[in-house]
Structure 1
Amino acid sequence: MRQGSFKWMKSMNKSIILNKIRRDGPISRAQIARETKLTPPTVSSNVKELMEEKIVEESDIGHSQGGRKPTMLIINNQAFTIIGVDAGPKSIRCIVADLAGKVLKRSEKKLQLPINNQQFIATLKSCIEEVLETEHQVIGIGVAMHGVVEVDTGTSLYAPNLGLANIPIKKEMEVAFGLEVKVENDARAMALGEYWFGNHGELESMLAVNIGNGIGAGLIIDGKLYHGSTDIAGEIGHMTIDLHGEICECGNRGCLQTFVTGPAIARKVTGTALKNPLTAENVFEQAVNGNEEFAAILKESGRAMGIGLTNLIHIVNPEKIVLGGGVSKAETFILPTIRQTIKDSALTPAASRTKVEVSKLGDDATLIGAITLLLVDIFDVK
């Protein structure tokens, strides 16, 4: 296991070259030099170092255009691994994945509530330790944490579903494991993972929305994750939809998450003649089996989500919106209603045609996003 940081990979020229190979490989040294405006000697010396570190390797020889056939370069995705953590409100899930996002090992620890900061940190360490029992060289840990995160210090400022505040995740994990640690809000991490691994093509802007026990979003602008001035960009769950609506846990009325989250959907069926309380998953299952009342509840949640997304389209106008999280599994009922609501409500025909789809990364979307927090530092030029 590689201990410490990976600053050896993070010089400007190395980042330019690595990102070029990641995006366009197999690619020759000469083509890298032409398209990045770096000199051939600079490319050659940096490639040599990257090959010595085994993150870049030579592939099959390319096609000749009149001279000697060039040797092509690709990323060695198995060179190193990254630990990704999804610190949700009910459990902590960890993976070890390679540089291409392929999951190699998993672990999960249930959170026993109520819980304090020390117990949360202990559970987090235990989950990470289980996946660290591997022969792979780990270069860092990415943690996707629900709630408000101070990114620079890696501190969970407020985790509402756990009732916790000021958890020094980065500090504690770096002391415990001697690895580079990045901490990010879970929805923003998911957005980054979608942008890198969701097969969405070349996009300048994208909004990813995580709908589960709460609602959060991550916004990609010009290929970069947007945080806002105080790290709360994306807290769309507390967008007001109804001034006279249900009181949200934040104290305001009619927040989006009082309409669309799993708990909100479950609350909507408590007024029916039920012997046992249902979860949102139960509601979806019964809707699939023909319960028209429950289908209507899901569709109404989709309408509220469509109103919220229309507001966001009018503000940031993303090229694409991607939905993830447990509630997105009810896409049969909610997605057509979301799309129709946007079509009916958006100001212009172009805005009404904003692409909205459900993540293809499934339950791993946030975990993949967590490992991407480290990949951005390796491959992207700041």
Structure 2
Amino acid sequence: MIVTRNLAQQLRDRLKKSPAIAILGPRQVGKTTLAKQLEDHYIYLDMENPRDIAKLQDAYTFLENLEDQTVIIDEVQLLPELFSLLRPLIDAKRTPGRFILLGSASPELVKGVSESLAGRISYNELSPIGLTELPKSIGYEEHWFRGGFPESLLSETGDLSKAWIDDFIVSYVERDLAKMFGVDLAPTLLRNFWSMLAHLNGNLFNGESFARSLGVSAPTVNRYLDFLEGGYLIRRLQPLFVNAKKRLVKSPKTYIRDTGILHRLLNIPSYNELFGNPAIGASWEGYVIEQIYQLKTKQTELFFYRTQTGAECDLVLVQGIKPLACIEIKLSNAPTVSKGFISCAKDLEPKYKYIITPKSETYKTSNEITVTNLEHFLVKIFPEIQ
């Protein structure tokens, strides 16, 4: 089944202007498939393939001889010295579309990457398949439960989907993260930490508490969190500070970005079982936030807002220093407006106020809050307000 990715046209446009583009995202998210769809003729090199690595023994000469072709380099973070070689190659001939670099690690955590190609490369993040990219045969319920990784989402059966995610989790814990960043990681510690993050999905992150539970230091916990975030597996949602008169929460929230992974870490066997699990509210909240993240523009930043007295807004869209929208995320399709949300909206004075649900109709409450379902918000509302 072919899935058309929202990012595809943007990448084609950037290939016409930039000598190099990078497609970043977690492993197995579809970066290679997408890259090969962008160009009809290309040279493909995989930095996990010994034969391709051998071709780059004299990398400068090899790549210089391919100056009139598009070269796709996969898992490029495994050979970070390539970045310093690409700089003079690009400067010698700044032809658009020379290189497509694919990486599974945040460039900020790969030594020398950000500095080497500054001004010469366009960075683009490919997330798991989003709600607005789904084939018509797949509904939001299946997407929410299985997550957006192609091999999981498009599996013929639920058992095959779960088996793929289980293998994915094991490979990340035992091999992938350490290899991507060139560091030593303790697999048991990493697995336990990842599972703890799943059980506390959507909660404030307290590094000291995690450290005590895991029997390690707080710097070690923060280091592991950085690697999980740098591998595009978790997201930190930062708090918004705009009201100096109130005591505000200052710790970030953490979310497992893909709900399919979240549900396997929590050992939830089916969509029906999800509804009997106390984690369902946080799962839906994280799912909504991730779908909004995938479609936001660079001008829009995402935060949450919470006072020390407990008033909270699940999501605040900000442009510049001005709150654009306050959003409350509800699992109920007949939601009530909480006093805390009204209090937060009064503090922040956003232009828009929304409650997002799974399937409700779109209407306005007496408080001038728009209630709508997630798909309608993503397709009709979000593009108009950004």
* Structure showing greater relative contact order (alpha-carbon pairs closer than 8 Å, 6 or more residues apart): 1
Structure having the higher strand fraction is 1
| Fold shared per TM-score above 0.5 | no
TM-score range, shorter chain: under 0.3
